[in-house]
């Protein structure tokens, strides 16, 4: 019996060893320019209307990706569903009104509002406090000597010239900084003076947002014209605007009314699952976001490179792994093919997945994320522009990542791996700007594949006819080869580098 057990054990070990030595080239060769192009002209085509999150175009794209996953034989990853839904909220303006000393003013002609940022209310105040630029820090305190508790504050837009350039260059600048500082000092409403009135009537729907239960409810905010500012402060306005603004209070009877409805919409990630063999309880994630910016009036933002290129690469990679599995040469670890929505809104889909993972994150060896790999960076003035890819994040979280990535490329694709965006001082902060970061913040090792920013980025001209399908194929095959190693190596990736 002991001898039989040893023979079975050796046979099992031989099976695992043979799996590790399977040749991935026949399956990688199935990732073709023709296949990528066919998918991309559909995904980034007119029918999907730019794939904006929580719209019909996004739902059509999700259905297409789901159909491909089914055709490849992938299993639904969310129980019996290929989609992982999550709620999205959007506000619709019902009414916004303003009166000053009994005179009514018109929306868009004299004032504007943030539909998503404000809450339904009727506010009547008898004093407005002018507080300069609304700054309060170690350099400048516009609230010094002022009592704004329970009052409306009036603020100049922007920043003083002495601070403007430094603040613009700081990526951490808070666009709601004025409201937050006003709230810290007790103000109940904020008026910010702006000079571009009258304005065209804007959409009555606010921006979508992910969490309807907000941790911070900011003060009611109105953007007002210089006409309104003069109505409140009178002849002081020119001195306030052109000279050193002197914070002070002004008597004025202000009526502010705001009402809206909040609609609950839905978006979804698309999730296909390929079960592994002896290490099937461990997981590799291969991801890309399939959403884009949608339509502006009748103009479609096609998003062929951003991130149609990543989406169709995931489809072709999924098909290649499915064919390997059907041939009895599938991966040891399971693979989740994750097509995220909501990336353009703020990495929503990947945030939802990593906050509600379908498979344990501590058993997720890595996320290989693909976002824009079909074009050439016009700013890259060195090397071979037709044979490179930016590799981001392989020096973070795991000391295993870099060597695996380099080895796969050296053996199979022989591209120039460019680590420009691994620089901690990268002014673009690319490492933090795509879906891999939500895995990284949870401690899951990541690699992000990227081609750089080009002139069609976030433009209606990002169309599938401008994609370099040869380099797209090479880059997709590199991801496949890297995933092949990660999915079948003996050990799950180390997590030995702290998240920064």
Mean pLDDT over 154-183 rounds to 71
Contact of 132 with 245, CB cutoff 8 Å: yes
Contact of 52 with 293, CB cutoff 8 Å: yes
Q: 3-class DSSP state for residue 304? A: helix
pLDDT in the model for residue 139: 84
Contact of 330 with 67, CB cutoff 8 Å: no
**Can you read off the two tokens belonging to residue 206?**
């606010």
Residues in the chain: 500
pLDDT in the model for residue 333: 98
432: nearest Cα among 356, 486, 371: 371
How confident is residue 244, by pLDDT bands cut at 50, 70 and 90? low
- Segment 125-134, tens digit of pLDDT: 999 999 999 9
- Between strands 248-274 and 75-76, the pairing is antiparallel
Cα dihedral value 498, 435, 401, 372, nearest 10: -140
Q: Exposed, middle or buried: residue 124 (CB in 10 Å: 0-12, 13-18, 19+)?
A: exposed
- Which residue in this structure is represented by tokens 């010239």? 161
Rounded to whole angstroms, how far apart are CA atoms 431 and 372? Answer: 13
pTM: 0.86
51: nearest Cα among 338, 367, 328, 304: 304
- What does the DSSP 8-state code read for residue 31? S
128: nearest Cα among 100, 106, 108, 107: 100
How confident is residue 202, by pLDDT bands cut at 50, 70 and 90? low
Mean pLDDT over 193-201 rounds to 91
409: nearest Cα among 331, 359, 308, 479: 479
- Beta bridge partners, 257, equal 97, 122
Rounded to whole angstroms, how far apart are CA atoms 380 and 384? Answer: 9
- Segment 425-480, tens digit of pLDDT: 999 999 999 999 999 999 999 999 999 999 999 999 999 999 999 999 999 999 99
- Segment 396-436, tens digit of pLDDT: 999 999 999 999 999 999 999 999 999 999 999 999 999 99
With DSSP H G I counted as helix, E B as strand and the rest as coil, what are the percentages for the chain, rounded to 5?
35, 25, 40
- Which residue in this structure is represented by tokens 């403007």? 164
In angstroms and rounded to an integer, the radius of gyration of the C-alpha atoms of the chain is: 27
Rounded to whole angstroms, how far apart are CA atoms 376 and 360? Answer: 36
pLDDT in the model for residue 215: 83
**In the predicted structure, residue 338 carries a pLDDT above the cut 70:** yes
**In the predicted structure, residue 24 carries a pLDDT above the cut 60:** yes
For the chain, list the domains and their CATH numbers.
17-89+265-488 (3.40.630.10), 92-263 (3.50.30.30)
How confident is residue 248, by pLDDT bands cut at 50, 70 and 90? confident
């Amino acid at each position: 019996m002991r001898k039989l057990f040893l023979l079975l054990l050796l046979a099992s070990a031989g099976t695992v060893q043979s799996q590790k030595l399977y040749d991935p080239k026949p399956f990688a060769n199935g990732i073709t320019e023709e296949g990528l192009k066919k998918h991309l002209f559909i995904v980034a085509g007119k029918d999907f209307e730019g794939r904006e999150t929580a719209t019909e175009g996004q739902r059509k794209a999700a259905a297409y990706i789901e159909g491909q996953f089914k055709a490849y034989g992938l299993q639904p990853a969310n129980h019996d569903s290929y989609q992982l839904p999550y709620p999205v909220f959007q506000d619709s303006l019902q009414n916004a009104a303003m009166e000053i000393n009994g005179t009514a003013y018109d929306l868009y002609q004299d004032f504007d509002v943030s539909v998503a940022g404000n809450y339904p209310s009727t506010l009547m105040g008898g004093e407005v406090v002018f507080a300069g630029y609304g700054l309060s820090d170690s350099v400048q305190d516009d609230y010094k000597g002022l009592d704004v508790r329970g009052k409306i504050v009036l603020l100049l837009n922007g920043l003083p010239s002495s601070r403007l350039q430094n603040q613009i260059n700081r990526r951490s600048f808070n666009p709601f900084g004025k409201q937050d500082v006003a709230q810290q000092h007790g103000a109940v409403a904020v008026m910010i003076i702006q000079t571009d009135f009258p304005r065209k009537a804007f959409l009555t729907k606010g921006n979508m947002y992910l969490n309807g239960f907000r941790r911070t409810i900011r003060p009611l905010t109105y953007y007002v014209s210089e006409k309104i500012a003069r109505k409140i402060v009178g002849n002081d306005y020119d001195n306030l605007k052109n000279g050193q603004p002197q914070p002070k209070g002004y008597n004025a009877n202000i009526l502010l009314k705001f009402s809206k409805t909040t609609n609950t919409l839905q978006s979804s990630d698309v999730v296909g699952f390929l079960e592994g063999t002896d290490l099937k309880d461990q997981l590799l994630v291969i991801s890309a976001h399939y959403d884009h910016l949608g339509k502006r009036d009748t103009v479609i933002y096609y998003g062929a490179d951003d991130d149609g290129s990543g989406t169709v690469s995931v489809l072709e990679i999924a098909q290649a792994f499915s064919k390997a599995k059907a041939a009895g040469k599938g991966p040891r670890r399971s693979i989740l093919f994750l097509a995220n929505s909501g990336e353009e809104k703020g990495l929503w889909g990947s945030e939802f997945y990593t906050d509600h993972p379908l498979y344990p994150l501590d058993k997720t060896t890595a996320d290989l994320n693909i976002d824009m790999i079909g074009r050439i960076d016009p700013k890259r003035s060195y090397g071979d522009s037709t044979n490179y890819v930016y590799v981001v994040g392989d020096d973070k979280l795991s000391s295993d990542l870099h060597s695996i990535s380099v080895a796969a490329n050296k053996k199979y694709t022989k591209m120039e791996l460019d680590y420009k965006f691994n620089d901690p001082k990268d002014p673009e902060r690319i490492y933090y700007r795509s879906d891999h970061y939500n895995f990284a913040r949870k401690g899951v090792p990541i690699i992000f594949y990227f081609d750089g920013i080009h002139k069609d980025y976030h433009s209606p001209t990002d169309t599938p006819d401008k994609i370099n399908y040869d380099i797209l194929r090479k880059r997709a095959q590199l991801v496949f080869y890297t995933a092949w190693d990660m999915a079948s190596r003996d050990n799950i990736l180390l997590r030995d580098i702290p998240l920064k």
